[in-house]
Chains A and B, each alone.
Chain A
Amino acid sequence: MSVREIDVRYVAHLARIELSPEEERQFGAQLGQILGYIEKLNQLDVNGIEPTAHAVPMVNVTRPDEIKPSLPAAEALRNAPAQANDLFMMPKIVE
């Protein structure tokens, strides 16, 4: 099984996760193994097979445009670590 090189630091940044150098090595190796495992798929002959995101041949699954009850604000905010005036509160966002 070939271990693929991946830029763990970059992926961690995209996922907004802070990793120690040791974790970077550890997860890098583990992610590489996973990718290597997925690479097995390359052994399959997929000539003539349409790429698809779904295994089930189904289209146009929709719902009518009807209003259904929402959650009460108190319920919606129940898991919020911080709240004020019915808003979810968080450290100030600066772009």
Chain B
Amino acid sequence: MEYEAVIGLETHVQLKTQSKMWCGCANEFGASPNTHVCPVCLGLPGVMPVPNEEALRLTALTGLLLNCEITAYAKFDRKNYFYPDMPKNYQITQYDRPSTKNGLVEFEFEGKLAQVRINRAHLEEDVGKSFHFDRQSGLDFNRAGVPLLEIVTEPDITSPDMAYAYLEALKEILIHGGVSDCDMEKGMVRCDVNVSVRPIGQKELGMKIEIKNMNSFSGARRALEYEIPRQIDTLRQGGKLAQETRRWEDSTGMTEIMRTKEEAHDYRYFPEPDLMPLAPTPEWLAAVRARQVELPLAKKRRLMTQYQLPASDADTFVNDTPLARYFEAAATGAKNPKALANWVINNLRAKMAEAQITLADLKFPAASILSLIELVDAGKISSKIAQEVFAEMFASGETPEQVVTRKGLIQVSDTGAIEKFCDEAIAANPRSVADYQAGKAAALNFLKGQVMKLSKGKANPGLAGQVLERKLAQIK
């Protein structure tokens, strides 16, 4: 029997705020232990949390970026559990009334547009960081109370590679949106996996198994690559799967059981009495909406339709925002935006890399590239000469017209002059002429090359070809 995997992901992302979620301690990675702590985030008795308004805005912004609805009424709840990383003995989270829900993430996967539905993105707080020693553990509460968004997908993911592509797409969206820096090294993104398998064609989901402890996206992919065949093998051998939580061990490349359903936590959620509910006003939502940015995939599609760019060029611009900004600013006045993209990507970018400079250091205005393209399109210079002109203007900041005039590079479209070059080329290469007449089409290209050489590259290549063909036909 053939099986298929059904995967859902829970991703935790630290929000990019100055201060923590409920107190004014700095939200900063890497400070020395327990220096960004106060009575609120240490969970000392008698303190009151107050929500960080920027964290609330970033939550709503994420909701918009993930095509979620921003709920008209949201609240916070206490999730009760005992673990030293959370000295209050509960984590403040959103249980049944999250701030955002019912979204959709679109991304490219295996050459197609993939969609993963988002169940919810809710706001909660991060916990302290534990360090384990021989006989003791140590706790640093600098991270405790950092605003944390939990983004939960529907079980729409079908393979480890698709899970990886989703995570990468999500990260890209959150970074572009300014919601989180998503620095994996600093633990700003963490993800848990829910995976089950079922015989292909079966509607009901198989037994759901949760995997924790992946500290990278590739770790999540590897955990799935291990876990899916494990579950299928168990079923094939007549075994049964139980609902359980498993831990991924990166060093061994295996998952091992952490707890079964019987030992699962009973969190005894209840509404957080210290925090008032949230009811976004239209003005507040409008301010958040104003911060929405164009997402990478949307940008790619727009560049492709608006400027008729090939996918590869659009990708280049999506991955290089300053270059894209430069291109789009220049493209507003361009008759041939496709050619402009070509120059910007293939010539400008390469030259800048070679000279180790940035767009800010350019000596010529973007309009010069447009003039250069117009010179080529109008037949005044050949595209080969254009490369030479570009190198000059890149080095000196001259306009293309100045370079062309100074170096006498105007393309020769004067038939009389071209006829003369063609006559010379034919006279000097009788062998190629004979080859051409014997049916070797390639000989024409050779002769054309000779004409270009004689003209020092200035002959209009199209015209040169025509004149040569006419003359060769006459010789016959």
Interface residues of chain A, those whose CB is within 8 Å of chain B, are: 14-16, 53-54, 56, 58-73, 76-77, 82, 84-93, 95
> CB-CB < 8 A to B273: which residues of A?
53-54
Contact B39–A71 (Cβ < 8 Å)? yes
Write the chain B residue with the least CB distance to A53: B271
Contact A14–B18 (Cβ < 8 Å)? no
Known: A53-B75, A76-B34, A93-B132. A59 touches B19 (CB 8 A): no
Write the chain B residue with the least CB distance to A86: B33
Majority secondary structure, B binding face: loop
Closest 10 CB pairs of A and B: A68-B24, A53-B271, A87-B138, A65-B54, A62-B53, A86-B33, A59-B279, A88-B139, A63-B50, A61-B276
Contact B137–A63 (Cβ < 8 Å)? no
A64–B18 CA distance with the chains assembled, in angstroms: 10
Complex interface residues of chain B between 40 and 98 (CB less than 8 A to chain A): 42, 50-56, 75, 80, 82-84
16 contacts between A and B (CB under 8 A): A61-B276, A62-B56, A64-B53, A65-B54, A66-B19, A69-B24, A70-B36, A70-B38, A73-B32, A73-B37, A84-B136, A88-B140, A89-B136, A90-B84, A91-B136, A92-B136
Kindly provide the distance from the CB of A54 to the nearest chain B CB, expressed in whole angstroms: 6
In-complex Cβ contact of B19 among A16, A56, A65, A72 (8 A) = A65
A76–B135 CA distance with the chains assembled, in angstroms: 23
Known: A84-B138, A86-B35. 18 other contacts (CB 8 A): A14-B268, A54-B277, A56-B276, A62-B53, A67-B19, A68-B38, A73-B32, A73-B33, A76-B141, A84-B136, A85-B33, A86-B32, A86-B33, A86-B34, A89-B136, A89-B138, A90-B136, A92-B136
Known: A88-B141, A92-B133. A65 touches B18 (CB 8 A): yes
A64–B54 CA distance with the chains assembled, in angstroms: 7
Known: A54-B276, A62-B53. A87 touches B25 (CB 8 A): no
> CB-CB < 8 A to B139: which residues of A?
87-90
Write the chain B residue with the least CB distance to A74: B34
> CB-CB < 8 A to B135: which residues of A?
91-92
Contact A73–B137 (Cβ < 8 Å)? no
Kindly provide the distance from the CB of B290 to the nearest chain A CB, expressed in whole angstroms: 17
> CB-CB < 8 A to A67: which residues of B?
18-19, 24-26
> CB-CB < 8 A to A65: which residues of B?
17-19, 52-55
Majority secondary structure, A binding face: loop
How many residues of B are in contact with the other chain, CB < 8 A? 56
Kindly provide the distance from the CB of A41 to the nearest chain B CB, expressed in whole angstroms: 16
B467 at the interface (CB under 8 A from A): no
Write the chain B residue with the least CB distance to A64: B53
> CB-CB < 8 A to B84: which residues of A?
88, 90, 93
Q: Per-residue 0/1 for B123-158: is the Cβ within 8 Å of any A Cβ (1 yes, 0 no)?
A: 000000011111111111100000000000000000
Kindly provide the distance from the CB of B305 to the nearest chain A CB, expressed in whole angstroms: 38
Contact A62–B38 (Cβ < 8 Å)? no
A49–B134 CA distance with the chains assembled, in angstroms: 56
> CB-CB < 8 A to B53: which residues of A?
62-65
A54–B247 CA distance with the chains assembled, in angstroms: 39
Write the chain B residue with the least CB distance to A95: B258
Complex interface residues of chain B between 267 and 297 (CB less than 8 A to chain A): 268, 270-273, 275-281, 284
Known: A58-B276, A76-B42. A70 touches B138 (CB 8 A): no
Contact A90–B39 (Cβ < 8 Å)? no
Write the chain B residue with the least CB distance to A59: B279
Kindly provide the distance from the CB of B30 to the nearest chain A CB, expressed in whole angstroms: 14
B266 at the interface (CB under 8 A from A): yes
In-complex Cβ contact of B37 among A59, A76, A85 (8 A) = A76
Kindly provide the distance from the CB of B61 to the nearest chain A CB, expressed in whole angstroms: 14
Contact A88–B26 (Cβ < 8 Å)? no
Q: Per-residue 0/1 for B438-462: is the Cβ within 8 Å of any A Cβ (1 yes, 0 no)?
A: 0000000000000000000000000
A88–B34 CA distance with the chains assembled, in angstroms: 9
Kindly provide the distance from the CB of A76 to the nearest chain B CB, expressed in whole angstroms: 5
Known: A14-B266, A89-B136, A92-B133. A68 touches B33 (CB 8 A): no
Contact A60–B276 (Cβ < 8 Å)? yes
B348 at the interface (CB under 8 A from A): no
